[in-house]
Structure 1
Amino acid sequence: MNTFFDYKNKQVANLPLHLRKYIVKQEYDKYTSVDHAVWRYVMRQNYSYLKNVAYYPYIPGLKKAGLTIEKIPSLQEINNALAAIEWGAVTVDGFIPPAAFMEFQAYRVLVIAADIRQLEHIEYTSAPDIIHESAGHAPIISDTKYNQYLSYLGKIGTKALFSSKDYELYESIRALSILKEMPNVDKEDLAKAEALVLYNQQNLGIPSEMALLSRLQWWSVEYGLIGDINNPKIYGAGLLSSIGESASCMQPEVKKITYTIDALKVAYDITKEQPQLFVTPTFQNLIDVLEQFESTMAYRVGGLESVTKAIECKNICTAVFSSGLQLSGVFSKVYADTNHAIKYINTQGPSSLAFKDQLIEGHDVNYHAHGFGSPVGKLKDATKSLENYTTADLLSAGIIVDHVIALTFENGILVEGKLVGQTYIEDKLVLLGFADCKVTDMEGNVFFEPGWGMFDMAIGNSIDSVFNGSADKKIFEDQLHISEQPTHQQNYIAKDLKYQSLFKQIRDYREQAKSDDSLNQIWQQIQNDFETDWLSTMELLELADTMPTQKVLADALRAQLKIQSEKYPAFSKLIKDGLKIIDTKLKFE
């Protein structure tokens, strides 16, 4: 971890070790001149359209986030800018699990995909890329209410329970996004990947908390509209970074719905344009809706229903006893009394105990390697909760170390054995340790046998909270879901390098004001080697059109673009939109 680079940003520096594992180096020098041209085209188009429909002033928003229209931003530039509002940014390798993504937000750190879309996908890509993450999310983050919402979303997202099916869907979406950004991908492989995503989407079963929260995020952070439902503005990053859908989404064919808690009932498909969008009147409304959802979450509700959800997740979760003791592991069983109150819970496999998110010494995953079980509830005929017993209370009740005792609970659980230890933390009794212990109930269930070793009994009248992951994040670091499938890294051949050199020449001319003759030389190179390339022709026309001495060249370039537009329908709208900016002499300010 000595190599971790925090960009001298406080938020990034504060990231815990388990999140740092998702971070990759930006490797800015690997962005090609073509990549910068793709960024520039998209950003110019965004400004041309979004200046009228985006919620915020686009150029000021970019500047506040450390971004410009002219080039791909460096993470240092973004972090320098975001530090002013106490946010930061890091780069990751494509999609990361939703729980990790949201935890970054809780730490007020934007997650930005390091890659940029191919020229072939310049209008839209389903894969996360630096255009989507930085140009979509970052410019609006200076809005106080919005960044409060993002941080709040991240905070409760770290608690949201997710299922194994959620992770299967995540992996299939990641695999599809990688395939879509690979050059010359096999169409059959792509069809199979799309079918798998569709299958996983349709077979999630009852949506988990994370699935529902992801819907709220999708219809707000990614695809949200704000203001008057009849004349809304765009703030969702998915729309702001898509030069195609940012325009089509405003058409009447796309249904506009007021954003309420009911948005979580609407599933989404990342591979298609959205048939409906949600409009929030204010960012405060997003916070209000999130508060409604939070009140239903297992970490706020606790009890039998919440532990049952944790069992269904089949992932590491944490249950918090009323004493404050935290049990982390994969929950396997829960027993309840006739009033549906929990009387006994079990985990399977490595488990740990913590208090206030700090491991209790001696109770790590090595000690509890085969799971953990404990009764939950009040002692029969007790005048107060066991967790509130003082040492004097224990003595008075006959609960004495080195004595054989029997504890009978109101729910019928019976614990019999030799008491060998007691653990207090912050004046709360949280554990009792037994040797030669047997735990049973009135129905004849046997929960623990003397031959199984030491019995550590957790103390608590109830389970007050259940949340995703472990209490002490350091304990289960090796259980992190980090995909083994890397994103595609392009290997360039000689022609690719020549193509990149072409765009570098154009950029150098624009930035260094070279002689007019060099424009004609570049045009000759395009005609000889890249006759079908519309973007280099467009960039060259942008320069020639401002020079009275280059009217002949400008006319030739326009004629070529017209031919390309007619011959290649896929380029037609891109060319038309690019020409519109040149012809209107749009000022970027």
Structure 2
Amino acid sequence: ALSYREKELVGHGIEKHYEGYGSPVGKLKGINLAIEDMGPRDLKAYNIYEGKTVSLEFEGDIKVTGEIVTGTRNPRGEIILITFKNCRITHLEKPLFEFIGQLYHMAVGEHIVSAFNGPADLNSFDLITHKITETTIKMKKSPERKKLEQYYGQVRDFREGTNTTISRHKVFEAMKANHPNDWLLSVELYELAKINGDTDFAHDIALHLETVKSNTPLLGHLIDDGLGLVDMENAAQKTDRY
């Protein structure tokens, strides 16, 4: 079954995918922007829209060819599924799957962020007569880790508007002092600073991230990609307003 945010997608239960499910993961070859991050103009530019027959080649040499029937979006408007008809999937020209006369629903995602056993939507499975045989191993969290997750929660609450009294500056200073190598929360704070027009705060965060890059060079491309995406979206929003 396919789910989003622990909720099964309509029409994608175990009755539909009783033999399992497969989908390519990653970016399209030669395109830096992941499909889920594309806006309507980007999708149009790359011929990813309804009624168009396309051949999508991924960086892992997986090629998906077929006619796009429709797309499924999440509540934020991001594409999470693309539905094809007469679809053929190959790897280095070797056929993997062929869906002639039926629909193929391709999940959209640049990478896998986590994996665990058990159903994503508990309400969609009969757990009265079917018990999960294994439990997920949970690592014991240190006090420092719990505090960092608390910072993430505060920033999320601010973003979602459930608690706008949180001082993002205090969170940033505390994070620098106690978690100097954590970069993802800084990128989130950078995005909020850009959205709110706080250029000085955004500049301070960018300087801190330069220090993180110097201390941990392997994180450099992740940080650059994160900041670049924020700047690109911010510029696009300004253009749309004008």
Alignment TM-score, normalising by the size of structure 2: 0.51
Q: CA deviation at 1:453?
A: 2.0
Aligned partner letter, 2:27: K
Q: Distance in 2 between matches of 1:482 and 1:429?
A: 31
Q: Distance in 2 between matches of 1:482 and 1:390?
A: 40
In the alignment, is residue 466 of structure 1 matched against residue 108 of structure 2? no
Q: Is the 8 A contact 2:85 2:100 kept in 1?
A: no
Tell me the alpha carbon deviations over residues 111-130 of structure 1, each in whole angstroms, 9 at most, x when there is no partner: xxxxxxxxxxxxxxxxxxxx
In the alignment, is residue 393 of structure 1 matched against residue 42 of structure 2? yes
Aligned partner letter, 1:436: N
3-state secondary structure, aligned to 1:405: strand
Give the match for residue 432 of structure 1.
82
In the alignment, is residue 410 of structure 1 matched against residue 59 of structure 2? yes
In the alignment, is residue 361 of structure 1 matched against residue 10 of structure 2? yes
Give the match for residue 480 of structure 1.
130
Larger radius of gyration: 1
Give the match for residue 69 of structure 2.
420
Structure 2 gap segments, 5+ residues each: 134-242
Q: Distance in 2 between matches of 1:398 and 1:451?
A: 21
Give the match for residue 171 of structure 1.
none
Which of 19, 27, 31 lines up with 1:370 in the alignment?
19
Q: Distance in 2 between matches of 1:369 and 1:482?
A: 18
Tell me the alpha carbon deviations over residues 68-98 of structure 1, each in whole angstroms, 9 at most, x when there is no partner: xxxxxxxxxxxxxxxxxxxxxxxxxxxxxxx
Structure 1 gap segments, 5+ residues each: 1-351, 484-589
Q: CA deviation at 1:394?
A: 0.8
Q: Distance in 1 between matches of 2:125 and 2:132?
A: 13
Q: Is the 8 A contact 2:88 2:98 kept in 1?
A: yes
3-state secondary structure, aligned to 1:415: strand
Q: Distance in 1 between matches of 2:70 and 2:30?
A: 23
Give the match for residue 455 of structure 1.
104
Aligned length: 131
Q: Distance in 2 between matches of 1:452 and 1:371?
A: 19
Q: Distance in 2 between matches of 1:391 and 1:398?
A: 10
Q: CA deviation at 1:384?
A: 0.9
3-state secondary structure, aligned to 1:462: coil
Q: Distance in 2 between matches of 1:366 and 1:389?
A: 31
Query: After superposition, where does 1:149-548 map in structure 2 within 5 Å?
Result: 352-425=1-74, 426-442=76-92, 444=94, 446-451=95-100, 453-478=102-127, 480-481=130-131
Q: Distance in 2 between matches of 1:428 and 1:482?
A: 32
Q: CA deviation at 1:447?
A: 2.4
Aligned partner letter, 2:117: N
CA, structure 1 residues 414+482, in 2 after alignment: closer, same or farther (shift >3 Å)? Answer: closer
Q: Distance in 2 between matches of 1:371 and 1:394?
A: 28
Q: Distance in 2 between matches of 1:383 and 1:370?
A: 33
Q: Is the 8 A contact 2:88 2:99 kept in 1?
A: yes
3-state secondary structure, aligned to 2:22: strand
Alignment TM-score, normalising by the size of structure 1: 0.21
Q: CA deviation at 1:452?
A: 6.7
Tell me the alpha carbon deviations over residues 448-487 of structure 1, each in whole angstroms, 9 at most, x when there is no partner: 113372111011111111011011001122562289xxxx
Would you identify which runs of 4 or more consecutive aligned residues in structure 1 move more than 3 Å? Answer: none
Q: Distance in 2 between matches of 1:409 and 1:396?
A: 17
Q: CA deviation at 1:381?
A: 1.2
Q: Distance in 1 between matches of 2:120 and 2:3?
A: 6
Q: Distance in 2 between matches of 1:416 and 1:396?
A: 17
Give the match for residue 189 of structure 2.
none
Give the match for residue 536 of structure 1.
none
Q: CA deviation at 1:433?
A: 0.3
Q: Is the 8 A contact 2:56 2:64 kept in 1?
A: yes
Task: Give the aligned CA root-mean-square deviation in angstroms.
Answer: 2.0
3-state secondary structure, aligned to 1:468: coil
Q: CA deviation at 1:424?
A: 1.1
Tell me the alpha carbon deviations over residues 36-74 of structure 1, each in whole angstroms, 9 at most, x when there is no partner: xxxxxxxxxxxxxxxxxxxxxxxxxxxxxxxxxxxxxxx
Q: Distance in 1 between matches of 2:14 and 2:101?
A: 17
Give the match for residue 552 of structure 1.
none
CA, structure 1 residues 354+439, in 2 after alignment: closer, same or farther (shift >3 Å)? Answer: same
CA, structure 1 residues 398+482, in 2 after alignment: closer, same or farther (shift >3 Å)? Answer: closer
Q: Distance in 2 between matches of 1:369 and 1:434?
A: 19
